[in-house]
Structure 1
Amino acid sequence: MRKRTRILGRTLAAAGALAALTVATAVPATAAPQAKAAEPTSVEQDIAQLYQDVEDLYNGLPANALRGVDPLFDSPVKRPGQQAHAAQGPIPGCTEGSLLTYANKLASSLTPTEGKALSALSAIGQLYTQAVASDKTPQVFGTDGQYTPRAGATIDKLRGFWDIESWNIQLVAWKGTDLGSQERTTQTFKLGLDPKRAAAAGALATKVLYEVPALQGGRHPLLTLNAFSAPADSLGGKRIMLGDGLLDVVNHLGFDDVSVEAVVGHEYGHQVDFAHDNYPRNESGEMGPDAYGGYFAAHAKGEAYNARTQQEVTYLDASIGDCYHSHGTPDQRKAASAWGEKQAVNQNNPNRIIPSAKMIEKFQKEYPKLMPPAPAALAAAH
């Protein structure tokens, strides 16, 4: 029995050794290769380089270049490096205005690559309009020039309406098709880059414009879907910039009857604030110009709009309201505009124009009434 046990033991030991040898000498199975990340396409590489060029351009601008330059509303299109929203979160129960909803819908239809290209090109176009373009050359407002007569008539009325220095306030068209001019894009890049790099970046900008079909050769509304007002000490000096894309979308939303007059009236309201060194750091910075614009729209020496058209102006102002403690909610912007209209309608002398300094003072007293109580105050009240 012991002999059989010894034989069995030797057999198992030999089998174990053979198994170990087999494992040790076996050729390891080849691991399945991991999918290699796709190389960026030439278009994606162009867009990435352009995006970097635009970041460097804005970083190379003088410190006060953009001081006081604020958009009509908080667009979903941010220039490279720009913060997406105000630091505070969205206001509970607030619904953004219809124009913002439409703009966000347009933005969501773009691929990330298209959105990046649009962001870079829109930033170039904005800076060109602010600092390079001039009303010394004929300005064409609207994608087909359809708003040019109204824009000219409105700025002329405003210059004679408010008691501020107005001869040097330019009204300039912001056109996406300007991006198709290499000369114009290069001029823009020279504001913050050396001439050699500016020339290369300018050529690249025009190339990207036509490499991305979604941009429609500069006619995509998001490229110019805004308006701006700039003070005297900003790059380019005192001016109002009116985007073709904004006018197209406002028309689409049904506000075409008052589009140019209401928007330019609002942006000129910023010039009223600038003239009195009034730079509020709260929503009154936008709601004040809503009020001044409403006053101009309803006043006998302004647009002299009737009650129905005045209401259309207030609804247009509401359409650009946001929910981020930034420019005012739709209800707040509508209320500010209506307050301004009421000042004109209720005057004993319909031809009297309230001095601009007095109008600012009156609105600043009204402003707290248009704002909801802060959450902390509500909590304390309960």
Structure 2
Amino acid sequence: MPNRTRFLGKTFAAAGTVAALALATAVPAAAAAPSTVEQDVAQLYQYVSDLYNGLPADALRGVDRLIESPIPQIGPRSRAAQDPIPGCTEGSLLTYANKLAAQLTPLENQAMSALSGLSQLYVQGVATDKAPQVFGTDGQYTARATDTIRKLRDFWDIESWNIQLVAWKGTDLGSQAKMAQTFSLGLAPAKVKNAATLATKVLYEVPALQGGRHPLLSLNAFSAPADSLGGKRVALGDGLLDTVDFLGFDDVSVEAVVGHEYGHQVDFAHENHPRNESSEMGPDAYGGYFVAHPKGFGWDSRTQQEVTYLDASVGDCYHSHGTPDQRKAAGAWGEKQATSQGNPNRIIPSATMIRKFQEEYPKLMPPAAATVAAARG
């Protein structure tokens, strides 16, 4: 089975695992050395790595996260493989996430990597909207999230009854039952109980994790297609909502993020899988159209502009998700489609919206030579 464990930069898993194995072989079985936090974290990382490598080959296919995590991740490999774009400054949300990650010690970083990977797998493959969903660390976004998904299902002309909206909560890591269900997705059955117990233990013995409330554990959102693990769903992370609130976008956070992630469902429904920045900029445009349209939220120009600034905040500089300027432009283009159409009550068919944006997309992408020249001034 191919190894689907992803490492960005240098991680501490290898060193930690080797150290744990060395200790295990150096001590007689009858006098096992007492457990340490370092050993626990290294062992948990190995369990989560084994879990991901034991998943079916198509389990993570097509899952599209809002941002690339600033911490080393266990899971699908990043699409970003090019050097940074000259003259580009990443969005404010990414800048803040990187700042949080830089504050972690190597041990905390490894624990965060293992538990955030485990948390994402729980919300993708185990969680279900058949159970009551609570959005926000204190449930403060639940009504808005419920209202947004209801409007989106009515708005776009795609099969929507089976698109779940699920809450991504770091505190779910504290449930051994939920973690056992998650490890059962791909870990050897004999290891599941010990792995689940260890996950909850590490969550509480590494203080920086804040018992599951550290934003980086759920600082993301994602959309998954029908043929991936867990089926069609949109996941909304508490850590993302907290961070967006901190950055001043609370007025539009839930609606803009869920609108964007639902935009991926629009693409999935039409088998539109572009391998360039339009894969993220398109959902920005569809989300902009939705929030500005009278049959969506019908927001005024000031609020529409706030959405485009939120779009820009998740822009990167690696030819991956679109730069801040490109993301902002895509959202603004979508909003303009709603405010300038002759019949304000008409909703453009989703297939037409995709085609129109793909025609517009090249205009939003400055030629590489011009970008370099502008950077050199």
Q: TM-score, normalised by structure 1?
A: 0.87
**Residue 92 in 1 paired to residue 89 in 2?**
no
Picking from 239, 258, 267, the partner of 2:261 is 267
Instruction: Identify unmatched segments of 5+ residues in structure 2.
Output: 1-18, 24-34
In structure 2, the residue matched to 1:79 is: 73
Q: Does 1:158 align with 2:152?
A: yes
Alignment of 1:219-234 (within 5 A): 219-234=213-228
Q: Check whether the contact 2:52–2:75 (CA below 8 A) recurs between aligned residues.
A: no
Deviations 1:44-89 (A, max 9, x none): 1111111111111111111111111011112203323665772101
Corresponding residue for residue 192 of structure 1:
186
Question: Are the aligned partners of 1:85 and 1:324 in contact in 2 as well (CA < 8 Å)?
Answer: no
Matches within 5 A, 1:1-382: 42-80=36-74, 83=77, 86-375=80-369
> Is the 8 Å Cα contact of residues 314 and 338 (structure 1) preserved in structure 2?
yes
Q: What amino acid does structure 2 have at the position aligned with 1:303?
A: F
- Looking at structure 2, the residues matched to 187 and 308 of structure 1 have their Cα atoms a distance apart, in angstroms, of 45
Give the direction of change, closer, same or farther, for the CA distance of 1:85–1:230 in structure 2 (3 Å limit).
closer
Residues 78-87 or 259-268, more deviating: 78-87
Look up the SS of the partner of 2:234 in the other structure.
strand
Inter-partner Cα distance in structure 2 for 1:103 and 1:85: 19
Change (3 A) 1:144 1:376: closer
In structure 2, C-alpha distance between the alignment counterparts of 1:263 and 1:81, rounded to whole Å: 22
Q: Distance in 1 between matches of 2:66 and 2:190?
A: 34
Q: Distance in 2 between matches of 1:303 and 1:84?
A: 33
Counterpart of 1:150 in structure 2: which amino acid? Answer: R
Aligned residue identity for 1:110: L
How far apart in 2 are the matches of 1:91 and 1:282? 14
Residue identity in the other structure for 1:350: P
Following TM superposition, by how much is the alpha carbon of 1:374 offset from its aligned partner in structure 2, in angstroms? Answer: 2.8
Deviation, 1:198, is 1.4
Distance 2:72 2:372 in 1: 34
Q: Counterpart of 2:9?
A: none
Residue 194 of structure 1, CA deviation: 1.9
CA distance in 2, matches of 1:270, 1:74: 16
The number of residues matched between the two structures is 343
Name the CA distance, whole Å, in 1 between partners of 2:80 and 2:152: 31
In structure 2, distance between residues paired with 1:377 and 1:106: 30
Q: Is the 8 A contact 1:171 1:241 kept in 2?
A: yes
Partner Cα separation in structure 2 for residue 69 and residue 235 of structure 1 = 9
Q: For 1:328 and 1:318, how far apart are their aligned partners in 2?
A: 9
Give the distance between the partners of 1:287 and 1:123, measured in 2 at CA. 25
**Which is worse superposed, 148-157 or 47-56?**
47-56
C-alpha deviation, 1:195, in angstroms: 1.7
- Separation of aligned partners in 2, 1:275 and 1:169: 11
Distance in 2, matches of 1:266 and 1:81, equals 22
SS at match of 2:289: helix
Letter in 1 for 2:91: G
Alignment gaps of 5+ in structure 1 = 1-36
Give yes or no for contact 2:223–2:235 (8 Å, CA) kept in 1: yes
Q: Tell me: CA distance 1:234–1:214, structure 2 relative to 1, closer, same or farther (3 Å).
A: same
**For the structure 1 residues 276 and 70, does the alpha-carbon distance in structure 2 shift closer, same or farther, using more than 3 Å as the test?**
same
Amino acid at match of 1:324: Y
Distance 1:132 1:143 in 2: 20
What are the superposed Cα offsets for residues 226-281 of structure 1, whole Å, 9 maximum, x if unpaired?
00000000000000000000000000000000000000000000000000011111
Q: What's the TM-score once normalised by structure 2's chain length? A: 0.88
